[in-house]
Amino acid sequence: MALKATIFKVELSISNMDKNYYADHSLTIARHPSESDKRMLLRLVAFAFNAHEQLEFTKGLSDVDTPDLWQKSYSDEIELWIELGQPSEQRIKKGCNQSQQMIVYSYDNNAFDEWWKKEQNALNTRKNLTIATVNETTIEQLAELVTRQMHIQVTIQDGQAWFSLNDETQELSLTTIKEGE
């Protein structure tokens, strides 16, 4: 019998002073059986930094044809394609070709460094691609606070974010490795 996804309910309150975006989101996240709390939180970080009324989680690990998150226009065009980890060049090519903008979020660790050394020449030709990393230790600390129902407050200012989860606040910053145009 196949394992089923674990459902998480998240009340996410975002105050993004960099983008003048202030909103509350009631999210239902289905965590794939092979997905860790750490990876699920990376999806939430990506959501928080790119929050928009049309940004949504996809089937993610359950569907290889879709990204982890995407934002579609009312005419069903993909405006933003978000991947996590170190996707293959083919995967990035697909995302860049099918969307107006693509962002890859990864952990700042040795695996990312090796991937970037191998892929950077090919990826630097992609004009609509942004690649950013987050501190893996910070995500791990936040992952320890995960419960099935969470209230998370995120404040973003000057590229820095403060995630408050279960009365604990962690500072998190993105490091942009490649900036899309």
Task: Examine residue 148 and state whether it is found in any structural domain, yes or no.
Answer: yes
For residue 76, give the CATH number of its domain. 3.10.640.10
State the 10-residue block means of pLDDT for the chain, 181 residues long: 82 96 94 89 95 87 76 95 94 94 95 94 94 93 92 94 90 91 82
pLDDT at 61: 53
**pLDDT of 2-36, one tens digit each?**
678 889 999 999 999 999 999 999 999 988 888 89
Task: Examine residue 113 and state whether it is found in any structural domain, yes or no.
Answer: yes
Which residues share a beta bridge with 21? 16
Task: Examine residue 142 and state whether it is found in any structural domain, yes or no.
Answer: yes
Task: Examine residue 145 and state whether it is found in any structural domain, yes or no.
Answer: yes
Task: Examine residue 128 and state whether it is found in any structural domain, yes or no.
Answer: yes
Domain assignment of residue 112, given as a range: 6-178
Q: Give the list of residues 6+ apart from residue 145 with CB closer than 8 angstroms, or none.
A: 165, 166, 168
Task: Examine residue 11 and state whether it is found in any structural domain, yes or no.
Answer: yes
Domain count of the fold of the chain = 1
**pLDDT of 28-42, one tens digit each?**
998 888 889 999 999
Task: Examine residue 1 and state whether it is found in any structural domain, yes or no.
Answer: no
pLDDT at 78: 94
pLDDT at 35: 87
